[in-house]
Amino acid sequence: MKHLAMAAFLAAAAAGGSSAEERVNPFLQPTYGTPYEIPPFDKIVYGDYLPAIKEGIRQQEAEINAIVNNPAAPDFNNTILAYEKSGKTLSRVMRVFNALNETDASPEMDAIDAEVSPLYSKASDDIMMNPGLFARIKSIYDRRDQLGLTASQRKAVEDTYLEFTRSGALLSDNDKQRLKDINSQLTELYLQFNKNLLSATNEYKLVVDDKSRLGGLPANAVAQAADAAAEAGMAGKWMFTLHAPSRLPLLQYADDRDLRKDMYLAYINLASSGQYDNKPVIGKLLKLRSEKAHLLGYPDFASYMTANVMAKTPEAAEELLMKIWEPATKRVDEEVAEMQAIADSENKGITIEPWDYYYYAEKVRRAKYNLDEDEVRQYFAIDNVRKGIFYMANRLYGVTFTEMPDAPKYNPEVTVYNVTDDKGEHVAVFMTDYFPRASKRQGAWMDEMQGSFVDPDGTVQRPIVFNVGNFTRPTADTPALLTLDEVETMFHEFGHGLHGMLSRAALRSQAGTNVDRDFVELPSQIHEHWALEPEMLRQYAFNYKTGEVIPDSLITKLQKASTHNMGFTTTELVGAALLDLKWGHINPGDNDIDVAAFEKSVVAELGMPKQVQFRYRSPYFRHIFGSDSYASGYYTYLWAEVLDTDGFELFAEKGIFDPETAKAFRENVLEAGGSADPMEQYVKFRGKRPSVDALLRNRGLAPNDDKNLHQKGGK
């Protein structure tokens, strides 16, 4: 993207000046004129966004008015489908803006976001609370049994009606206005939370000027720290940051306990004090969320957020989590005992603390399984892993990925692919963006710059899907060598990508990942299982130095160690999910919220082991406080794991590339999207409903661990 002066463009747009009039805004053209309508990133400048968004809002308002004023009786095509088709320009620009705001943030993007988010929130509220539009939708909803609708159309009608009622369509005018005010304030708070988190993450630097303190760290981690220091103007030193590829190797390998403690404490106190303190933001969010839930007729925010997904109630989610919690924490006690035994044998004179967990877990792994993850990484160069995920997709679903070197890219590190089926027909565009940078938020995710649909007139649009990660960078001497967790994350996000790319749902609202929130993780998590399957490993795991395929002896070690440290990883995940739900039950009224005290109360209530922290503490729990996408919904990873572990047992039984099983999964899950009830879709694929037993077996937490049928896939 061209970094042009923001102020000049905004001023010109606001004043209607000649520069704004003369500029050809790519978003406002009928077509981009690029292959498969990939956004022309090299032609987009900061000043294009705001005018295009305002015009997109204006166009959608006109489209909604046309639906409302249509003299014909409401039916599916002139109301539901017309509503789905509205806002093309707005969706077009917002998809690009949101994507780049998370991958290439800048002060200019922050300034645009501060103006755009309230506009977009208001426009959405105006539609959701439009009485004329809702009257037509309700008319169709009330007559849905008499209209001869297909199953997917009926579901679209019911989902649309539910969406509008959950957004305030049934409220009084005064309550509608109050809900709009609440949504506007929430939008501003989400912006502030995310800005604080990114700033706090980038602010922290752990600088080491004595190389002797780096004992135990792999050579590539030392080299990356040296490169980071040099880029920051501190050549000859070593710099570590809170980004996972920098933080985790230090916690896992550094012999210097003080270094580990400094890094650990910095991470768990991220965005918890100073100018980037997110605790006051959380307090305000909780009050507004509680008021919103009450306005809409729910006892608390958790009840509101779970009512329209598979779980239906927070209690159902909590019941599942507690079935996992007890065996997970019991395993933590066993893991800590093993670590303490090693520390005692070394005469360290220490008691295992949270900043020791990663370090001694690695020592236990080496002792029990003779497995060194640094050795394992030699077989997981990122290009080979990428070939592996493409091989998996081809074997399972018959799709091929061909690089498009001349395609538009939003960053030089992006790679673009044309995805085709076994007949050579275009299926999707797929983009990858795998390495961390200061402008990119932490974590890994999938999204779309263009969705898919099939209109009644035969118009077809195929998706543009992208995967983003923050994986270990290459150094001057080595390619990017991934950890096992990074490998599984790459397969996980690619699974989301397949959900988007292979969608065949006709309606926009049902295509790809537009499914219940606690079903959306099934496609991502089930594909993790392939990552470490022996048959799969032999196709892509090659030593980056020698080119030799991963030996059977190492595969056997990986299999035996597949549930190593699973007490810790499960406890921190379940703990975070329970913390999220307990935040959702809070009805603070006018009372101030002590975030740290509340977290401590949850720890005490759960009896959480002192050596384990929540996977995300509240001030940096972006899933639940950076938006409402996973609020009172972080449990969904485990809810979906019940499905994915049970589902993969069918592949394990039939063969991991069994064509019939792959076809059933593709048709009933990946292609169907949200066009049918998710449990019905799952049962059509699997032949039965799932239970938690497969999850416990998969994580090695079942009473009889020898029932472990296959390799664990993580998140």
Angle (CA) 573-579-585 rounded to 5° is 145
Would you name the residues annotated as active-site residues? 493
**Which of 415, 304, 321 has its CA nearest to residue 692?**
321
Other Cβ atoms less than 10 A from the Cβ of 590: the count is 5
CA distance 454 to 503: 11
* Separation between Cα atoms, residue 575 and residue 637, nearest integer Å: 12
686: which 2 tokens? 């699997």
CA distance to 429, 490, 541, 645, 710, per residue, from 528 (Å) = 22, 8, 15, 10, 12
Task: State the residue for tokens 């509340």.
Answer: 598
Alpha helices in 129-236 (DSSP H): 131-142, 151-166, 173-203, 219-231
DSSP run (H or E) holding 521: helix 521-528
List of E strands, 272-409: 400-403
Distance CA(430)–CA(239), nearest Å, equals 34
Distance (Å, rounded) from C-alpha 492 to C-alpha 634?
A: 16
The residues that bridge with 417 in the sheet, in sequence order, are 403, 430
Q: Which of 171, 169, 280, 292 is nearest to 632 (CA)?
A: 292
Rounded distance, CA 131 to CA 110, Å?
Answer: 34
Q: What is the 3-state secondary structure (H, E, C) of 576-598?
A: HHHHHHHHHCCCCCCCCCCHHHH
